[in-house]
Amino acid sequence: MSPIKQVILNKDTKIKPVWIMRQAGRYLPEFKEIRKRNTNFINLCLNPSLSSEITLQPLRRFALDAAIIFSDILILPYGFKQKVEFKKNFGPILGDFNLNQTLKVTEDDFIKRVNPVYKVINLVKNNKLTENKSIIGFVGAPWTLLVYILNKQSPKQNLNKDLFKDQYFIKKTLKIIEKFLKIHIKNQIDNGAELIQIFDSWAGLLDNKDLDFYIYNPTQSLIEYTKSLNVPVICFPRGIKNYKRYCEIVKPDVICIDYEVDPEKIEKEIKIPVQGGLDPKILLTDKDNLKKEATKYLDIFKDHPYIFNLGHGVLPETDPNMMDYLIKTVKNYK
Ligand code: 1CP
């Protein structure tokens, strides 16, 4: 069994496997080289030979325990025919969302458009580099996708609250997102994904009173569905105020924590396996500090099933040598 699965299924505390969110991509010179020649990001995600190579690039350099498929959470709206583009130095830009048009998109239409992603998983799975490692498929959580689909750009710049006023429309939209998410999860699993991570990057934007409707209910439904396919789920509700309550309600197999929560409190309160936590900005400091901070997490979770990771994606300006040092620090930890 792969080390990550040993932690999740057997609650093994003697090993501390490691993978890194956004390990494939932006900070690696070999990725930038490919990216330079492929200006359309969605087309790059839909190119199985390039995308599988990008997925494997960090595994050639570092002793990671998982490969996360090189794709994007916004491949979902692309799959149901909403326009999705990525603008340099700005981020994603989406076209208008049309509910009636989207209701006409069939499962077959969706799979045809997204099929190259499933081919990538197959290629990665059959590569020697992933032997005894976990292949991680992923999706955006319904709430985070709803935000991009309606706001049509990152909420980092601004989020128009008026978009969420029509409850009937929002309910229908969440339902259709959930439907395509299940299709996407099932096909990733059928093609070799052994774990699914659900990224709820904008969970922190909601007030407590809205969590049931936008986060707990739809996420719980996805988790139940994924578990019914015998595949464990890792949830990353970034910025959520109460991780304990989140775990009690949605019941993920693993909870991935962000860098703003107190790891000691999490260790005490949460009984399921934990992943992540280290602030990605620590990789921009120096080796002594990096070792000190990484060791802090490893010490706190010494007797807890724990998968080492960061508390958000690795930053584009990270020096790959620092990443190398981090992975070695985790691997040499006794
Ligand atoms: O070169 C480029 O301009 C593209 C940059 C890039 C990359 C490398 C984007 C655009 N997406 C990705 C790949 C990606 N995205 C992966 C696979 C690689 C890996 O993890 O190793 C994954 C898992 C994601 C997930 C993703 N996309 C999230 C959730 C995680 C997170 O960081 O919070 C989100 C929110 C997105 C949307 C997205 N896609 C790309 C960007 C720049 C963004 C964020 C936009 C924003 O800030 O709102």
Walk me through the domains of the chain, giving residue ranges and CATH numbers: 3-331 (3.20.20.210)
Q: Which atom of ligand 1 is nearest to the CA of 70?
A: 17
Whether residue 225 has its Cβ less than 6 Å from ligand 1: no
pLDDT of residue 45: 97
Whether residue 275 has its Cβ less than 6 Å from ligand 1: no
Cα separation, 100 vs 98, in Å, equals 6
Whether residue 199 has its Cβ less than 6 Å from ligand 1: yes
Q: How confident is the model at residue 264 (pLDDT cuts 50, 70, 90)?
A: very high
Percent of the chain whose predicted confidence (pLDDT) is above 70:
100
pLDDT of residue 220: 97
Measuring from atom 28 of ligand 1, which residue has the nearest CA?
73
Q: Which atom of ligand 1 is nearest to the CA of 201?
A: 33
Q: Which atom of ligand 1 is nearest to the CA of 45?
A: 13
pLDDT of residue 158: 84
Res. 228: pLDDT tops 90: yes
Whether residue 65 has its Cβ less than 6 Å from ligand 1: no
Query: Residues 323-327: what's their mean pLDDT?
Result: 98
Res. 41: pLDDT tops 90: yes
Whether residue 153 has its Cβ less than 6 Å from ligand 1: no
Q: Are strands 134-140 and 195-199 parallel, antiparallel or unpaired?
A: parallel
Measuring from atom 3 of ligand 1, which residue has the nearest CA?
88
Q: pTM for this structure?
A: 0.96
Measuring from atom 20 of ligand 1, which residue has the nearest CA?
22
Which neighbouring-strand residues pair with 153?
93
Question: Which tens digit of pLDDT belongs to each residue from 7-25?
Answer: 999 999 999 999 999 999 8
Q: Are 117 and 55 in contact (CB under 8 A)?
A: no
pLDDT of residue 44: 97
- Name the residue among 225, 141, 230, 130 with its Cα closest to residue 182: 225
Residue with tokens 């979770």: 301
Distance 72 CA to ligand 1 centre (A): 6
Residue with tokens 């197959």: 122
Distance 71 CA to ligand 1 centre (A): 8
Cα separation, 7 vs 111, in Å, equals 32
Res. 157: pLDDT tops 90: no
Q: Are 96 and 152 in contact (CB under 8 A)?
A: yes
Whether residue 80 has its Cβ less than 6 Å from ligand 1: no
Res. 304: pLDDT tops 90: yes
Res. 65: pLDDT tops 90: yes
Query: Residues 119-144: what's their mean pLDDT?
Result: 97
Distance 329 CA to ligand 1 centre (A): 26
Distance 220 CA to ligand 1 centre (A): 23
Distance 302 CA to ligand 1 centre (A): 31
Order of strands, edge to edge, in the sheet holding 306-307?
66-68, 134-140, 195-199, 233-236, 254-257, 274-276, 306-307
Res. 295: pLDDT tops 90: yes
Res. 185: pLDDT tops 90: yes
Res. 147: pLDDT tops 90: yes
Arithmetic mean of pLDDT over the chain: 97
pLDDT of residue 25: 84
Q: How confident is the model at residue 89 (pLDDT cuts 50, 70, 90)?
A: confident
Res. 255: pLDDT tops 90: yes
